[in-house]
A and B are shown apart, each in its own frame.
Chain A
Amino acid sequence: MSALSIRTNGLAPSKVQRWLLVAILTGFGAALGAFFVCEYAATRQMRSMMTASDGELLWLRREFNLTDAQYNRIKLLHEKYSAQCDLMCQRIAEVNARLDALISANHEVTPALASTINEASRVQEDCRRAMLGHIYEVGAIMTPSSGARYVDMMKATIIQPGLPSKTVVSQ
């Protein structure tokens, strides 16, 4: 009885169904489109930074609100330090390899082993000093508050070199 009254009184069920289907499809399509457009537009800058060769410096620029002049000076410093860092890497690798071989070859702390341990410590000392020097230089280019924040962020690297980067950053 009531079903009959609906069929005879007003919009036909098939028409209602059709419009509902159209509405659902339109809403779903619009939601999907808006999702991808927003997601793409909002992550575009970060994704381009990620693929850039100097992405880490671009990140530094964004994170510490560097001006063009500050960024250019820091970039130059970073390039200079990178060459120095490569040499330090080489020294670390050499002394570590020597230490590895001596530890395997001996069963007690021989004078050669002790001397290599001292050398490894010296290398680490040099690296820490160079790193801290670079960090202070970079921090000095930034505004005082940004510089303090930057040094604070990098502190863990100096205190414990080789600490996983994620730990350093999260600290």
Chain B
Amino acid sequence: MRDFSFCGVLLFVKSNLNDDELRRVLQTWKVDPKIPRNFARDVWERIATSEEASVGSRWWITLKELVGPVGGTRLALSAATIGLVLGGFTGAMEAQQQNSKIQQQLATKYVRSVDPYQRVSSL
């Protein structure tokens, strides 16, 4: 509607005014913009909201990309496989440390069983 009336004005201006008259009319044209109250705050709020939405959406896009093509079941299976490998590796490392500790204790026990001085001191 506004565009339409604007076109009407344009047609009127073009058909009825020459350049000098148009310049005069334009010189008398005054714009008195009224900025609504809380304009700045509203703008900042809109900016903040759109930023939050874009951060959240990036997360969701990434997650969707992860889950979407693979599928939930496959994702769970992959996680289980990775978990098994990591858990197994960590368990083996821990066992190695424990075995080494036990070996040291057994070696100590053997030396004590052979050395009477150590037996006496442990009594």
Contacts and interface: CB of A to CB of B under 8 A. Distances in A.
Nearest to B58: A2
Interface stretch (A99-107, A109-117, A140-148, A159-167): A159-167
Contacts of A32: 83, 87
Which 5 residue pairs spanning A and B have beta carbons closest together? A38-B91, A34-B87, A27-B79, A42-B95, A162-B117
Interface string A105-147: 0000000000000000000100100010011000000000000
Chain B facing A: main interface SS? helix
Interface string B36-73: 00000000000000000110110011011001100010
Contact of A2 (B57, B102, B123): B57
Given A30-B84, A34-B87, A162 B104 contact: no
B94 interface: yes
B104 A43 contact: no
A110 to B, nearest CB: 25
A39 B94 contact: yes
Contacts of B91: 34-39, 42
Contacts, number: 194
Given A31-B84, A34-B91, A165 B111 contact: yes
B104 to A, nearest CB: 6
A127 B116 contact: yes
B114 interface: yes
Interface in B86-110: 86-88, 90-92, 94-96, 98-99, 102-110
Contacts of B86: 31, 34
B110 A135 contact: no
A165 B84 contact: no
Given A37-B91, A89-B119, A166-B104, A19 B53 contact: no
A1 interface: yes
